[in-house]
Structure 1
Amino acid sequence: MCAHVLVAEDDRRQAELLRQYLRAEGHEVVVVHDGHSALSTARLQPPDLLILDVMMPGLSGLEVCRALRRDSDVLVLMLTARSGEEDLLLGLDLGADDYLTKPYSPRELAARVRTLLRRRRAAPQPQDGVLTVGPLTIDPARHRIACAGEPVECTPGEFAILAAMAGAPDRVFTRAQLLDHTRGIDRNSTVRTIDMHVMNLRRKIEPDPRRPARLVTVYGVGYKLAGGSD
């Protein structure tokens, strides 16, 4: 599962260690040490995955992620020395696919890289705009959802949430991200509204809503739609 990986890390010793581990995994690795270089390199030579340190000179990793997400769906793994929830949630809100808090094991990072690449390559490809995730089928054009072949009636807000998550199975969405997907549908939506939508969806798509296996809570972060079949 070889890939082109861009590492943006201002700690040169740490960056070199990452280069060695990732090359040993068979990846092609390019290393840069500041935010401006990370952004320009990612745009000139788009990588399969970007490992992005939050604290860098020039542009921060958060600023780089925000800029890239305007026109790119490159996989982003954030590295942060801060353990605060605010940094984590902000990175995920900007579209990061995963994160690691320093200090971390390079072996763990290599495993996260494998998981992200495997998930991207296994992601369902829409046929005529229809998304299939496990037993769920979501047809955005016709505004239809089916679970194990049975139609599922959803409100517009519920549909918007499920369709967004079906486009990226196993990716964790924060409540703020899901709230963005309901803008213009539920004008008075709050993060509490998102929780209510999720609770209602579980009643409709889970075999046992009290023990959700499809629409899963990631505690302290948000929700994900499990990509496995049942």
Structure 2
Amino acid sequence: MKQMASEKAARILIVDDEPQIVRVLRASLGAQGYDVKTALDGQAALKLFEDWRPDLVVVDLVMPGIDGLEVCRRLRLVSQVPIIVLSVKGEERTKVEALDMGADDYVTKPFGIAELLARIRAALRRSNVAFPERNETLEVGDFRIDLGTRSVKVRDETVRLTPKEFDLLLYFVQNAGRVLTHRKLLGAIWGGEYTEQKEYLRVFVGNLRRKVEPDPDRPRYILTEPWVGYRFNPQGD
């Protein structure tokens, strides 16, 4: 959906060393009402980011010189701007590294413009969400979480969770729509010494699905990103 003329145009920085991709993305995003600037390498991208301060960055992972991983690392030192990485099939390890360094999402090449636009809209929505204080209530999609009493309702039905299940669900909700790697989830919920203990995550995600999903065998909320981690979809559509 094209942005309304009254809305402030979101600034998007496109970083890719393939001029043809840059031209297509600049034209496609510009046609949707976004304010777009481009860079053909990581060094130029970092300089442009400093001068322009975009609202979102789309960056290719494999580039000569400063690659997409290093761009993610440096941006996260100074900003929480949403980052979407572009990757080709077969780059699972690099993709996971980028997500662990702070990228919010990834799109695999070749991709459709409609898919990228949907990811951009979701990332911009997330960046504008202000979450409540710990004694308030968080409502996202089908989920209602009382942070003070640590109680949960899903589709208006009370769900009883263990403390760790609650912590895991809350982290999913606070990062709704983002791809969360196994390492990131383990580090956030169990601590840095557990980042290789994927069995913890499998057990707790399985338990959580049994409690919140209409059909745990066909999850609608806690979606698996193969070989990478999970993505939480609070609307369940």
**Which stretch has the larger CA shift, 73-82 or 121-130?**
121-130
Is 1:126 the counterpart of 2:127 in the alignment?
A: no
Superposed, 1:1-230 pairs within 5 Å as 1=3, 2-81=9-88, 83-102=90-109, 104=110, 108-109=112-113, 111-118=115-122, 120-121=124-125, 125-129=130-134, 130-184=137-191, 190-228=197-235
Quick one: distance in 2 between partners of 1:179 and 1:152? 23
| Contact 1:161 1:182 survives alignment (8 Å) | yes
| Contact 1:169 1:225 survives alignment (8 Å) | yes
State the TM-score, normalized to the length of structure 1: 0.82
| Contact 2:221 2:236 survives alignment (8 Å) | no
CA-based RMSD: 2.9
Structure 1 residues 147, 14: closer, same or farther in 2, change over 3 A? closer
State the TM-score, normalized to the length of structure 2: 0.80
**Which stretch has the larger CA shift, 29-38 or 120-129?**
120-129
Structure 1 residues 209, 188: closer, same or farther in 2, change over 3 A? same
Secondary structure of the structure 2 residue equivalent to 1:202 = helix
Identical amino acids, percent of aligned pairs = 34
**Which stretch has the larger CA shift, 200-209 or 137-146?**
137-146
Unaligned runs of 5+ in 1: none
| Contact 1:125 1:131 survives alignment (8 Å) | no
Secondary structure of the structure 2 residue equivalent to 1:29 = strand
Kindly tell me the number of residue pairs found equivalent between the two proteins.
227
**Which stretch has the larger CA shift, 122-131 or 175-184?**
122-131
What letter corresponds to residue 6 of structure 1 in structure 2?
A: L
| Contact 1:22 1:110 survives alignment (8 Å) | no
